[in-house]
A and B are shown apart, each in its own frame.
Chain A
Amino acid sequence: MRKKQSVILSGSVIIIAIGIAVIFGWVFKIDFLKSIFPDFATMKFNTSLGFILLGISSYLIGLKKRLQLSIMLAFIVFSMAFLTISQELFNYDLGIDQLFVIDADSQNYPGRMSQLTAICFCLMATSFIGIQFENKNYRLVCQVLLHVVTLMAFIGIMGYLFNVPIFYKFTFLSSMAIHTALAFLILSISAALVNPSLGIAGLFTGVNIGNKMARSLFAQLTIITLILAYLTVLSYRYKILSVEYGIVLFALSFILTSLFLIWRTSRELNFIDQKRAVVENGLIEAKQDLEVLTKRLTEQNVQLANFVHITSHNLRSPVSNLNSLLYLYKTAETEEDKNSLFEKFETVIIHLSSTLNTLVDALRIKENTDNEREIIQFEDVLSKTTEIISAQIIETGARIKGDFENALEIEYNSGYLESIFLNLLTNAIKYRTVGRPPKIELKTERINDQLVLTVSDNGMGIDLKRHRHKLFGLHKTFHRHTEAKGVGLFMTKTQIEKMGGTISAESEVGKGSIFTIKF
């Protein structure tokens, strides 16, 4: 916005400067200032006055200050230009042409600005009056008027460049001076930035890729076309080429340069598109990362909530037992009674401290951040485990079979893996069917790129309809078994989840259980 405003303001200042310079030229009779080149048309005194007034008007519009004064100035210019046209149309003389200075240079109507200039002034002044209106349609009309002036001034300048009088004379009697055309060009372009989103200005001032392309393409195309046209004109003038041949050559070279421009543009567009694709991919990746992170966090939250629940429940019950025992101890009357109660205190305290140890172990697993991983052979872990429980194996006649053909090894925390194996195997032996030697099978598989370990047994099984939801809970037991404490599977699940895996179970009472670990 600031940049556009500064363009409007400097455009206005340049116009005012041109106007003042030409007035200076008329007063002190300096021909260079009046016509730039000898024998060219002069900028009339009234024209330069019009530019000064319009310049001030546009400066005020750019500043958005004293808009009433700017409208008044535009109106004065409009009246002057309109009267000039009417003099021409109805062939009378109001005496405004040489009101300020005597024009000795021109033959026809001395001191009168050309019809073209007067029309441009009319259009421009009308535009300046309406440029600040609220109504968008009015402003659009004003913008179009400015564009018309730009076009006319451009045609005038082209005429001078190519030295083709028909252009800048535009069939009117008197021609537009070169600096008049230039001044109109500057003023109409800079004033078009007052409403930068409207009309052709919108095409060039936007920040989108289309506007960027429009800017660069139009500038290049204009310059190349002008050069080509100028060369063609020169070739006629010095009779190097025939007219027909020259037109063909112009068309051909125009097509070739257009092709070049299109090639460059498409390359630039492709480059931008590639850059966008890279950014897009980055965004997609970042989104995926976030989704993974969210999933992990959600999982951890659920685990944490479970843990809090477990902790509160499992610590509350021994503490409430201690409270009840304390009450009984206080009310106990005999020494013998007190002693037997004291033994019960011991039981609870041992239970409490073992619960605390379990919870601390679980916390340690959860908080362990380094998670050392190493390549471990499943066969090695199995033989190590069977060694530890060899007494139970011999005692029960258990048969343990490991099938690790599909996946021989895993990168895992060795302590955890050993503990997982130990827990599952001792469970399978502990909850064996009475009168049937335990048969335990371990098998690794790769399912959908994931390593899966199944441990199946022929033990007593678990009624999962009743117990599925608390199978891996702390101190949850499912059999009337003196050794059942409800710690093993809880720890196993904690370790597996810490390593990012899951454990589930299938079981049928009396037939056996299958535990499935997805690492």
Chain B
Amino acid sequence: MTKPFIICIVDDDDIYKFTITRTIEIQNLAKKILIFSDGEEAINFMIDNVGNSQHLPDIIFLDINMPVMDGFQFMEEYVKIKPRVGKKVTIYMVTSSVDPVDVDRANKISEISDYIVKPIEPEQLSAIVDKLEKERFLL
């Protein structure tokens, strides 16, 4: 059965966007998938739909290295609008960077649930969604 979530992918790598979308689709992990190529596109969407909770994503998979606005800059902007966002959004940082500086920086941002190093395994993806479903169900 398809899970009742909107999953958002923010990444500039076309192949990655393709593979993760396919993986989500195969496992029926989302009712809708939003795709953005950099932080600016994503934050603009969030701002536009800030009070429109049925359009906002439940999970964001956020890349670090992107043109125009990178993952950390997206987080800076997101923290500013967060009080107005009418939905609980779980954010994962997904990147191929194994640089301890990046890991540290991500861990310091409380809005980020976890730091995942690419490639993201299909089982990992379904586990994340299952966990979220349990949390929502208990609530």
Contacts and interface: CB of A to CB of B under 8 A. Distances in A.
Interface string B95-106: 011110000000
Nearest to B76: A466
Contact of B73 (A321, A328, A466, A479): A466
Contact of B69 (A325, A344, A466, A475): A466
A312 B118 contact: no
A476 interface: yes
Q: Mostly helix, strand, loop or mixed at chain A's interface? A: helix
A320 B16 CA distance: 8
A321 B20 contact: no
Q: How large is the interface on A (under 10, 10 to 19, 20 to 34, 35 or more residues)?
A: 20 to 34
Contact of A321 (B23, B69, B119): B119
A412 interface: no
A347 B22 contact: no
A436 interface: no
B94 to A, nearest CB: 10
B26 interface: yes
Q: Mostly helix, strand, loop or mixed at chain B's interface? A: loop
B67 A324 contact: no
Contacts, number: 66
Contact of B99 (A309, A466, A484): A309
Name the residue in A309, A313, A348 with the highest tally of chain B Cβ atoms < 10 Å from its Cβ.
A313
B13 A328 contact: no
Interface in B82-139: 96-99, 118-120, 122
A312 B98 contact: yes
B19 interface: yes
Nearest to A345: B15
Contact of B18 (A313, A344, A477, A484): A344
Contacts of A484: 67
Contacts of A276: none
B11 to A, nearest CB: 10
A344 B15 contact: yes
Interface string B16-54: 101110110010000000000110000000000000000
Interface string A290-327: 00000000000000000001001100110011011101
Interface of B: 12-16, 18-20, 22-23, 26, 37-38, 65, 67-70, 73, 96-99, 118-120, 122
15 contacts: A313-B96, A320-B16, A324-B15, A324-B19, A325-B19, A327-B19, A327-B23, A328-B23, A344-B18, A466-B73, A475-B65, A477-B67, A479-B67, A480-B37, A484-B67
Given A316-B98, A321-B13, A480-B37, 11 more contacts: A313-B96, A316-B118, A317-B16, A317-B96, A324-B19, A324-B119, A327-B122, A331-B26, A470-B65, A478-B68, A479-B68
